[in-house]
Structure 1
Amino acid sequence: MAIRRQSSAAASLLLPPVAALLFLWMFGGGHVMAHTEIRNMTALQKHVSFFDRNKDGIITPSETFEGSVAIGFNVTYAREFATLVHAANGPITSPADAPLPHLSIYIENMQRGMHGSDTGAFDVKGRFVPQKFEEIFIKHAKTRPDGLTYLEVEDMILANRDPLDPASWEGPQIEWGGIYNVASDNDGFLHKDDARGIYDGSVFVKLEEKRAFSHHSAM
């Protein structure tokens, strides 16, 4: 399964000092406030704001872990995902005067976390680029025009890899693999509307609500 391969790959990148700092922070003290109003956010900022569970403009590792479980990631994958995301983006997005160890993600600076080998559906400032999103389905949706199979998602990821930037290859694999695993339908398709919702975070809200409803119905 995709999620298992990606989970193993993610685990291989975990460095003990980073993981130790992460979980110290997850269960440690607080941080300053950095409010960013939703109406002023770029698509990229909206994409990550779902994980800002207390809506203070700063995403802690524990919030990413909580949000990842809320959308359906298993605990092990959510832990690995939070570790990698915050190790990569915390230092980049944190202002100089932010509390150490700079593992929290500051939404206002999220554009600093842009990485290579992506689809191009975010511009350099984190704004959504509709034509680039449409190209995903024009180029890769071979089975049906409004959905992607797992193999088509893999094909898209490979097609977008920058051969001069191998350090950027793992991010899209983990991100798209994780979302495909929790958002694809019973026939194995990631629908176009759900893929679009990745870019502004709306699919995360949908997945959390769906999961909460399923749990409630099972009681």
Structure 2
Amino acid sequence: MGSPPVNEDAMTTEATQAPITRARKLNTDLQDQVAKPYLARALEAVDPSHPNGTEGKDHRNMSVLQQHVAFFDRNNDGIVYPWETFQGFRAIGCDLLTSIGGAILINLVLGYSTQPNIHKCKHGSDSETYDTEGRFEPSKFDAIFSKYGLTHPNALSSEELSTMLKANRNLTDFNGWILSYSEWQLLYKLGKDEKGLLHRETIRGVYDGSLFEQLEKKRASHSKRS
């Protein structure tokens, strides 16, 4: 039995009485670029350039959110202690003050509530690329760029990043505002290119933690040359 016919109105992503839907566009061709983009992935951060996730990365059967955090579990015992958070921040090139502040605040705010379930650290006012169980949502990730990457289809400028953060704010969710702003500003500082652009691949890499591994290797290589 075939699917019932769908008319044009049932598929449109813009409403004339809601101009914001025209300003913040969705990629209507995403299903041709990624298989089942509506399906949240538990193990891999997929996009059109990476339909099977990050090549060569061992997901160890952890959720994408767990993979994001695993870099900071320096001894691989399943628990991220404050000194490990500090070591992880230093490993990716953060300065001493940022590393100390991050270790104290992250473990203080999230340490107790995320034992033993890291998905509880998901906060509001974000892109919703992680679902509430820590899976990776391809359609939500793609919307970051279709909605806000207006000057470069696969990157965000500083101004576009600011626009996205403001647009994602949930009413009265002050904790979410602060957390989202802090996370994205740190990512922008670490990952922007010489033109001040934060590229899609850099952002995708932070979701599954592969960016952290790359930054650590880059920093170690630089230290050896020095």
TM bucket normalised to smaller: 0.7 to 0.9
2:148 to 123, 140, 154: 140
1:86 CA drift (Å): 0.8
Correspondence 1:176-191 to 2 at 5 A: 176-191=184-199
Q: TM-score, normalised by structure 2?
A: 0.72
Alignment partner of 1:39 is 2:47: no
Partner SS, residue 154 of structure 1: helix
Q: What SS is found at the alignment partner of 1:81?
A: helix
One-letter identity of the residue aligned with 2:99 = A
Mapping 1:200-211, distance limit 5 Å: 200-211=208-219
Which structure: larger Rg? 2
Q: Deviations over 1:157-208 (max 9, x none)?
A: 1111111312211101111111110111111111111100111010010111
Correspondence list, 1:70-219, <5 A: 70-94=91-115, 106=116, 109-218=117-226
Deviation of the 1:38 alpha carbon: 4.4
- Equivalents in 2 of 1:119, 1:54: separation in Å? 30
Residue aligned with 1:58, SS: coil
Deviations 1:8-57 (A, max 9, x none): xxxxxxxxxxxxxxxxxxxxxxxxxxxxx942211100000000011111
Alignment of 1:24-35 (within 5 A): none
- State the alpha-carbon separation in 1 of the partners of residues 60 and 111 from structure 2: 23
* 1:40 maps to amino acid: N
Count of residues in Structure 1 that have an aligned counterpart in Structure 2: 169
Which segments of structure 1 move beyond 3 Å, counting only runs of 4 or more?
none
Unmatched runs of 5 consecutive residues or more in structure 1:
1-36, 95-105
- Which structure 2 residue ranges, 5 or more long, are not aligned? 1-57
The one-letter amino acid of 2:125's match is S
SS of 2:111's equivalent in the other structure is helix
How big is the alpha-carbon RMSD for the aligned residues of Structure 1 and Structure 2? 1.3
Q: Distance in 2 between matches of 1:53 and 1:140?
A: 35
User: For residues 43 and 190 of structure 1, what CA distance do their matches in structure 2 show?
Assistant: 21
Q: In structure 2, what is the Cα distance between the partners aligned to 1:84 and 1:142?
A: 34
**For residues 114 and 213 of structure 1, what CA distance do their matches in structure 2 show?**
33
Distance 2:185 2:135 in 1: 23
Q: Secondary structure at the match of 1:59?
A: coil
Q: Which secondary structure state, in structure 2, belongs to the residue aligned with residue 174 of structure 1? A: helix
Which residue identity is paired with 1:123? Answer: D
**Same amino acid, percent of matched pairs:** 42
TM-score, with length taken from structure 1: 0.74
Range that drifts further, 129-138 or 145-154: 145-154
